[in-house]
Amino acid sequence: MRKDGRPFRRVLIANRGEIALRVIRACRELGVETVAVYSDADANARHVRAADVAVRIGPPPAAQSYLLVERIMAAARETGAEAIHPGYGFLSERPALAEACNAAGVVFIGPEPATLIGLGDKLNARRAAAAAGVPVVPGTLEPVATDRPDAVEAAVSEADRIGWPVLVKAAAGGGGRGMRLVERAADLPAALAAAAHEALAAFGDGSVYLEHRVDGARHVEVQLLGDAQGTVVALGERDCSIQRRHQKLVEETPAPGFDAARRRALHAFAVAVARAVGLRNAATAEFLVGADGSAWFLEVNARLQVEHGVTELVTGLDLVHEQLWIAAGEPLSGRVLAAAARAAQPGRHAIEVRLSAEDPGRDFAPTPGTIGRWRMPGGPGVRVDDWVEDGTRIGSDYDALLGKLMVVADDRAAALARLRRALHELEVTGIQTTLPFDLWLVDEPHFQAGELSTDFVPRLWDPAPLRAAAAELAAQSAADALAGGEYAPFGGVAPDDAVRQGGGATGWASLGRREAIERWPR
Amino acid sequence: MTAGAKLRTVVDGPQPLVIDVTPRMTAERGRGTVVTRLPARIPGTGEPSRFEAVVAGWRFEVAVEPAARAELRERAARIGGARATSVRRVIHAQIPGRVVSVAVAVGDAVERGQRLLSIEAMKMENAVLAPRAGTIERVGVAAGEDVELGDELAVMA
């Protein structure tokens, strides 16, 4: 530790959005100065305003800004940053940034470059896990050849051995890209070729492998922290089964229905994998958990996860604080070790929903636009990590995540009640968000019963009737607002009407409306 | 506007939903309902008022106007397309309210869709437009006057 009791004097955050703001908050609490980087699209974003220093790094496209290692390094050099926090996404798992940091004498807040290189090929992690005695999802441990005619026969016999249906996955993959589900041998050659092509285009590496598709499985991951001295601990698991197209929508901890023994076993698997691949700092080991409770290792993410906040709410830790101390060379803190000792019996329950600019009525298609009104819930046990505000323009250069709503309570039932309460406080106008899905989910009987699986959304989410019922209410509410103005039930017209009217209307009518708006109870 | 008069709503979507509803002054709160007025597309044309309504997280854009006016508008559009323009046309008030401004005088030549005058009702300014091209033969009201539903506003030749 430095003499002044801080992990670093100044840290650069090589990211944007809610995670940049999240890391800045942690730094400020530890007395660490922060450097924000931004593209032109984010010039006035909250993470920029929150930082001590801000550096423009390029135009909106990520490939010309947030993904440029040399721009990030130049910004660190100019501002005298001692360390770089990569957040998640962007450069967080690219060895190039970690290597550039090492070369420049800047601390990379994450694993060693060699670890990132190793984990970049998912087959490495699968082999390491298998060698450490951790069950892996049945499948191949080496890439499947896709470029020779005789290879197809070999692949089919491999699939027969693994068991149908199989997933064709990209070794360098992530986020569902380069992934294909294959039910029958006849479809395998085309799927192999398509996945390899997609993987080559997306990741520059066309290696693919086969994995058995476990039906009705849950996606459960374990939060890990490891220090430079080689100590690794598990800080509880998160159930992330509520997904669509391999993108998480809702996460919770602890995993519903797990007892302490099953939790301990899963945590031990995760720690074994982490040791086998030499993990340091924050990481997550992902598993599939079958209906019978058996767990198979999937992959390791060597970074802070989007959903890290629920673990913080249950453990009482600040994982970003811990990341900073670990990166500064400190051994795992007493706080972390105590939380790890309690991890099998967490005693609280936390749930997160991701609020995204996506239309759940149209297969979660992106909905770029301008936010009108952004009102997040508050009150006991509620945490919101967001980055948008009234008037924020949501473009299509970055992901659709607007914010994360998290709740914590003594048990799952109380957490669900709190989540329902918080969701009903939430108000977003201007763009379609994923909120309708969350409002449905919180009252959905299977979800309430903790019956989770990765096919939950495609199996149970049927938006058409919900949207149709809402449309009738919308018609009625709009009519109420026209007839009653500001005296309509529930105020009819929202106060930021004044903003939304903008130029358009002139004369006394708009003045009258404005006057009415000023009488709005605040 | 008469209390309790039906309002015609058009909810946007792949298949626009058209419903006539009676406005309420008492209602149970719909889940997280937020209504925001949207700016007029073309100010002062008397087009239906537009609202954004977010209900249970679903976002809609809704056009609202008195059902009677919507029907008149539709009829006018049908007739206006078919008839010759030589017939005298009396323009009646389709909403009760106060005349805010009169934009034309006797003898003026007007184009179809041109604003003749504006009536304020329910804190909203509603433009009265020329149903067709023609000449203003008579103006029956002046700014500041109150009008009832059906009052004669102007006559066109």
What share of chain A has pLDDT > 90, as a percent?
Answer: 76
Which has more confidence, A506 or A448?
A: A448
State whether the Cα torsion A121-A123-A127-A132 is positive or negative: positive
CA A32 to chain centre: 25
The verdict on B14 touching A (C-beta cutoff 8 Å) is no
Number of Cβ pairs < 8 A linking chain A and chain B: 181
The answer to whether the beta carbons of residues A10 and A28 sit under 8 Å apart is no
Whether residue A522 is predicted with pLDDT greater than 50 in this model: the reply is: no
pLDDT of residue A503: 32
pLDDT range class, residue B29, cuts 50, 70, 90: low
pLDDT, tens only, A365-387: 899 899 999 999 999 999 999 99
What ranges do the domains of chain A cover? 10-109, 138-212, 218-461, 467-518
Average pLDDT over residues A275-292: 94
What is the DSSP annotation of A214-267?
A: -TT-EEEEEEEEE-TTS-EEEEEEEEEEEEETTEEEEEEESPTT--HHHHHHHH
Interchain contact, A372 vs B55, CB within 8 Å: no
pLDDT of residue A425: 93
State whether the Cα torsion B20-B21-B23-B28 is positive or negative: negative
Residues of A in contact with B7 (CB under 8 A): 479, 482-483
Task: Please give the angle made by the CA atoms of A56, A62 and A65, to the nearest 5 degrees.
Answer: 25
ipTM: 0.88
What is the DSSP annotation of A471-482?
A: HHHHHHHHHHHH
Interchain contact, B125 vs A509, CB within 8 Å: yes
Q: What is the CATH number of domain A138-212?
A: 3.30.1490.20
Tokens matching residue A195 = 């996945």
Interchain contact, A494 vs B40, CB within 8 Å: no
pLDDT, tens only, A164-180: 999 999 888 766 677 88
Kindly give the interhelix angle for A95-104 and A69-79, rounded to the nearest 10 degrees: 30
- What is the 8-class DSSP label of residue A492? S
Whether residue A358 is predicted with pLDDT greater than 50 in this model: the reply is: yes
pLDDT, tens only, A318-329: 999 999 999 999
Nearest partner of A456 among A172, A198, A241, judged by Cα: A241
> Which 3 state secondary structure label does DSSP give A269?
helix
Average pLDDT over residues A437-453: 98
A129: alpha, beta or left, given left = phi > 0 and alpha = psi -120 to 50? alpha
> Is cis: bond before A254, omega within 30 of 0?
yes
- Residue A475 has its nearest CB partner, among B21, B40, B57, at B21
Q: Which segments of A283-426 does DSSP mark as H helices, in order? A: 308-315, 319-327, 334-342, 412-425
Whether residue A519 is predicted with pLDDT greater than 60 in this model: the reply is: no
pLDDT of residue A293: 87
pTM to 2 decimal places: 0.82
Tokens matching residue A314 = 């249950």
Q: What is the CATH number of domain A10-109?
A: 3.40.50.20
pLDDT range class, residue B28, cuts 50, 70, 90: low
Residues of B in contact with A501 (CB under 8 A): 37, 39
Domains in chain B, please, with CATH? 7-66 (no CATH), 84-156 (2.40.50.100)
pLDDT, tens only, A284-309: 999 999 988 899 999 999 999 999 99
CATH level 2 (architecture), domain A218-461: 2-Layer Sandwich (3.30)
Neighbours of A133 (CB within 10 A): 9
- Residue A471 has its nearest CB partner, among B17, B27, B57, at B17
> Is cis: bond before A495, omega within 30 of 0?
no
Nearest partner of A373 among A402, A411, A407, A334, judged by Cα: A402
Residues of B in contact with A502 (CB under 8 A): 39
Radius of gyration of chain A (CA): 24
pLDDT, tens only, A103-139: 999 999 999 999 999 888 889 999 999 999 999 999 9
Interchain contact, A479 vs B56, CB within 8 Å: no
The verdict on B86 touching A (C-beta cutoff 8 Å) is no
Among the listed residues A46, A213, A303, A418, the single catalytic one is: A303
For the question of residue A16 being annotated catalytic, the response is no
Distance CA A425, CA A365 (A): 25
**Per residue, what are the HEC states of A438-473?**
HHHHHCCHHHHCCCCCCCHHHHHCCHHHHHHHHHHH
The verdict on B123 touching A (C-beta cutoff 8 Å) is yes
The verdict on A403 touching B (C-beta cutoff 8 Å) is no
Whether residue A316 is predicted with pLDDT greater than 90 in this model: the reply is: yes
What is the DSSP annotation of chain B?
A: --TT--EEEEE-SSS-EEEEE---SS-PPPTT-EEEEEPPSSTTS-PPEEEEEEETTEEEEEEEEEHHHHHHHHHHHHHHHHS-TTS-EEEEPSS-EEEEEE---TT-EE-TT-EEEEEEETTEEEEEE-SSSEEEEEE---TT-EE-TT-EEEEE-
Tokens matching residue A414 = 């109380």
